[in-house]
Every structure is written in structure tokens, then in C-alpha cells.
Amino acid sequence: MGPTGETLYDLPSPYIAHPFGLLHLPRFIAKIKKHLKNELPSSYQRNFTKGFDGFLCLHLGISPDDVIDCVRDAKSDEDLNTKLKVLFPAKLNAHIWNRKVVQMGMSDMAFEKLQEVKSNLDAKDRSDLRSFADIIDFDEGRID
């Protein structure tokens, strides 16, 4: 169990890219699917559509609610990708977004928060946990 409650072990890593090339998008979609079935634990609801989810939507210039609507209305993964392609801007700038995902937590401003979260996970001495994506993977058991 993570520092804020129940931990899900079946969500994709934030390092997994969607076929459109965007890191974290498969994770956001998986969280939306759980949310729509009322299966998203309160420990995840706190940052649902915020954190990486919100930053991704901000990067794309869209509302998280629009992504939720696409997931809700899609009949299949293929249909979802079609709906997302219409919603998303033509230029995704995946390389810019992906760099942010990989580096989030490394800036001076975020480093202090990263250290706090590591401490809450009893991992304050882990020098290999360098970003918030690393913390997520550690908390969900993908990093020993």
C-alpha cells in the first residue's frame, strides 16, 4: 500500500507510450476506465485529471473531461484512437511531452517534493528514483 492508500498494480507505467507516441497516455486511459467503473481508489482520485494527467492535457491544449468523454463513448480501442485523433492537435510534440515526463521531479522546485514522497515510501536513500515517474513505478512494484 502506497503512502496515500491503496496501490494499483495493473496500471501501465508512465514510461509506456501510446501508439501516438505520448508517454503516460495509456496510464491516463486506464485510470479513466477504472474511474468510469467506480474502481479508481481514493488514493488515485486525489490526482486524477491533475498531476501527469492534467499536465498532459495542458500540453495538448485540451480538457481532461474531453478525454474522459472519448473513453466513455468509444466502442473499442480502435474507436478510442479515432476519437482521440480528432480531439488532439495535429502536432502532438510528443518529444517535448515525453522529456517532461521523464524529467518531472528533477528541477530544483520539484526536487524537494520528490524527496518528501520518497521519504513517505521509505525510499529516501534510493538515488535511482530520480523522477516522479520513477516513484510511480516504485510504488506500483515495477522497480524493486
Residues 39-73: tens digit of each pLDDT: 999 999 999 999 999 999 999 999 999 999 999 99
| Cell numbers at 36, concatenated | 468510469
Each residue's pLDDT tens digit, 33-45: 999 999 999 999 9
pLDDT of 79: 99
Residue 29 falls within a domain, yes or no?
yes
Q: Show the DSSP H helices in the chain as ranges.
A: 25-36, 42-45, 51-60, 64-73, 77-87, 94-103, 108-120, 132-139
In which domain, by residue range, is 46 found? 10-93
Percent of the chain with pLDDT over 70: 97
pLDDT (mean) for 81-99: 98
Say yes or no: 17 and 88 in one domain.
Answer: yes
Give the Cα-Cα-Cα angle 91, 93, 96 (nearest 5 degrees). Answer: 165
Say yes or no: 71 and 117 in one domain.
Answer: no
Say yes or no: 87 and 118 in one domain.
Answer: no
Residue 131 falls within a domain, yes or no?
yes
| Cell numbers at 61, concatenated | 491544449
Say yes or no: 141 and 74 in one domain.
Answer: no
CA distance 12 to 142: 10
Grid cell 495542458 — which residue?
A: 58
Say yes or no: 65 and 112 in one domain.
Answer: no
Q: What is the mean pLDDT of the chain?
A: 95
pTM for this one? 0.93
Percent of the chain with pLDDT over 90: 91
Say yes or no: 22 and 89 in one domain.
Answer: yes
Each residue's pLDDT tens digit, 10-27: 999 999 999 999 999 999
Say yes or no: 58 and 18 in one domain.
Answer: yes
Taken as a whole, the chain contains a residue count of 144
- pLDDT at 4 exceeding the cut of 80: no
Residue 98 falls within a domain, yes or no?
no
pLDDT of 39: 97
Q: What is the domain count for the chain?
A: 2
Say yes or no: 14 and 52 in one domain.
Answer: yes
Three-state SS for 17? Answer: strand
| Cell numbers at 130, concatenated | 530520480
Which residues have a Cβ under 8 Å from the Cβ of 116 and sit 6 or more positions away? none
Residue 4 falls within a domain, yes or no?
no
Say yes or no: 23 and 88 in one domain.
Answer: yes
CA dist 104 → 38, 86, 95, 96 (Å): 29, 28, 14, 12
